[in-house]
Structure 1
């Protein structure tokens, strides 16, 4: 007997099938409902525990606080699905921010010049990571551990550890202080990156190749997937997103500093893994990564509002992350 396939043409049945496929892709992952339950539970607990938590201003504050991690974590999702890892994202952010600020200070005080310099620097570091990993067959853990140190050293060296002041008002408005319909620019950039990541990962040929490269590299190679190119592009994308995060951070602080966000790569990786991505590759979804980032950001925000000491915050956050990953593991 011939199995009837769901309609995918322009008929109402085809439209319903496409919507089901879209929702299936958005919810893709192992037991993703646990993420929604954990997030909802956290919101309820903090809402009762603190009178200041349940407010629009506080939610916007959480969105701004999680912007950097969320943006970079989208790129990290691609890297980890491809069975790799990038430890250099925080240092890439620092160096990209310095490049953007220096370009506007010494070349031309234009936000476009700063954006190109920041994104370009991130892309170059990502390309170096990708080529060293794929062409020389060096484990990405070791490659990015090296670039983590090298990029941070360059960021500190170019201005002798001094910050670079930024004065371009358009730069501030576009990346840091502007808003659209009351929504701050950093949150808009986060939303744009997340939507772009969902479309690229779940609805393009490249996304299917990333899953294939990480899930079963041998089968992917025999299927015609050039794993080296796919993996290198994932590193480049992650570097560019770290560059974008540097623009947001430097626009908010009106300066670029070489010593910023040290250790942030751990929050980025934790968000991706918490969101259902497997460190062994082949599994993950962008919406889960965003939820992972929001869970960590909401936890930090709620603990601060409750007056919990910083040392105890680290203990609680670590325990909750381990528990959440245990519930969402394969």
Structure 2
């Protein structure tokens, strides 16, 4: 009897495995309170702009959107962890500028090798993130104030180290790996974005650290009684955001062939908008990586479509602001 039941049980388990994987994928895609609203909003934008502009629906334009949104998307993955942990990081734009300067200066004065620049850039971003996390958690100062201070300090340091002058990058490998190369026709900024998204999904949704981030932001008191070191988890979330800001700095510097201390001022606003538009709660405990990516793509598609339609930059800001507020209001709990 046992011998006949065993193969039957194995067959049932094998048949249920694809359904189980499909359910996990569906759960990943449909997190949040009204996840369908994000997909509907994105689809509506695609339809509207495809009718409004004959150049919108083209592979080249979609690749252009991917390149344009790469910086925001990469950093927003890290910001998702910070906001889920009930914190905020206003320093990511300045951290990016300082990280780019560090990478360029390292290749100029230490060794003209792309790996030296990569380590210097990402290391600088991680250091800024660590300072933000440690000051926030150890001195018990609100992260809004801490990162507001580091926003100014990091930008000022980036301006100071080169007396406001750009640093030219001539390393062809660095430029190809992070900025102008491609894999099977896909530009490397998009490749780095995809890798950041995959890493973010695995870390947030399939690791102990990810569950601790949700717990720290959702119910800090219960998390503390459960033995979770909230200060450690929060600090690591800030470090992760700094690392991704450093990666974004490498992408921008490679595309520009130079590092400038005055770049991407106000980038943090687009990053935070992408995360909140993607379903992340500013009160912590809620959010998912694919939602953040979709939020970034919605903003990028909106910018791209308005440019193709010839809308003035000032009116673009007004339209984008209204749509973001309306979308967040519709998707909020």
The CA RMSD measured in Å over matched residues stands at 1.1
SS of residue paired to 1:128: helix
The aligned counterpart of 1:106 is: 109
Q: Does 1:20 align with 2:27?
A: no
Alignment of 1:274-285 (within 5 A): 274-285=277-288
SS of residue paired to 1:11: helix
Select 2:170's aligned residue among 167, 176, 183: 167
Select 2:194's aligned residue among 159, 177, 191: 191
SS of residue paired to 2:320: helix
Tell me how far apart the structure 2 counterparts of residues 114 and 30 of structure 1 sit (CA, whole Å).
Answer: 41
Q: Count residues in correspondence.
A: 323
Q: Does 1:304 align with 2:307?
A: yes
Q: Does 1:130 align with 2:133?
A: yes
1:213-256 Cα offsets, whole Å, 9 max, x none, are: 00000001111111111110000000000000000000000000
The aligned counterpart of 1:230 is: 233
Alignment of 1:287-302 (within 5 A): 287-302=290-305
Tell me how far apart the structure 2 counterparts of residues 132 and 182 of structure 1 sit (CA, whole Å).
Answer: 44
Alpha-carbon offset, residue 36 of structure 1: 0.3
Tell me how far apart the structure 2 counterparts of residues 283 and 213 of structure 1 sit (CA, whole Å).
Answer: 11
Tell me how far apart the structure 1 counterparts of residues 178 and 196 of structure 2 sit (CA, whole Å).
Answer: 13
Give ranges in structure 1 of 5+ residues lacking alignment: 1-6
SS of residue paired to 2:241: helix
Tell me how far apart the structure 2 counterparts of residues 319 and 26 of structure 1 sit (CA, whole Å).
Answer: 26
Tell me how far apart the structure 1 counterparts of residues 128 and 162 of structure 2 sit (CA, whole Å).
Answer: 19
Q: TM-score, normalised by structure 2?
A: 0.95
1:78-117 Cα offsets, whole Å, 9 max, x none, are: 0000000000000000000000000000000000000000
Contact kept? 1:276, 1:329, Cα under 8 Å: yes
Select 1:76's aligned residue among 76, 79, 86: 79
The aligned counterpart of 2:144 is: 141
Contact kept? 1:104, 1:113, Cα under 8 Å: yes
Contact kept? 1:276, 1:288, Cα under 8 Å: yes
SS of residue paired to 1:66: helix
Contact kept? 1:26, 1:198, Cα under 8 Å: no
The aligned counterpart of 2:69 is: 66
Tell me how far apart the structure 1 counterparts of residues 15 and 122 of structure 2 sit (CA, whole Å).
Answer: 43
The aligned counterpart of 1:4 is: none
Alpha-carbon offset, residue 10 of structure 1: 5.7
SS of residue paired to 2:31: coil
Tell me how far apart the structure 1 counterparts of residues 183 and 13 of structure 2 sit (CA, whole Å).
Answer: 35
Alpha-carbon offset, residue 15 of structure 1: 4.2
The aligned counterpart of 2:34 is: 31
The aligned counterpart of 2:318 is: 315
The aligned counterpart of 1:119 is: 122
Q: TM-score, normalised by structure 1?
A: 0.96
Contact kept? 1:178, 1:185, Cα under 8 Å: yes
Tell me how far apart the structure 2 counterparts of residues 272 and 135 of structure 1 sit (CA, whole Å).
Answer: 26
Alpha-carbon offset, residue 17 of structure 1: 2.0
Contact kept? 1:89, 1:148, Cα under 8 Å: yes
Tell me how far apart the structure 2 counterparts of residues 301 and 10 of structure 1 sit (CA, whole Å).
Answer: 47
SS of residue paired to 2:163: coil
Tell me how far apart the structure 1 counterparts of residues 64 and 253 of structure 2 sit (CA, whole Å).
Answer: 17
1:21-57 Cα offsets, whole Å, 9 max, x none, are: 2320232111110000000000000000011111000
Tell me how far apart the structure 2 counterparts of residues 186 and 309 of structure 1 sit (CA, whole Å).
Answer: 27
The aligned counterpart of 1:3 is: none
Tell me how far apart the structure 2 counterparts of residues 217 and 271 of structure 1 sit (CA, whole Å).
Answer: 25
Alpha-carbon offset, residue 18 of structure 1: 3.7
SS of residue paired to 1:86: coil
Tell me how far apart the structure 1 counterparts of residues 286 and 121 of structure 2 sit (CA, whole Å).
Answer: 30
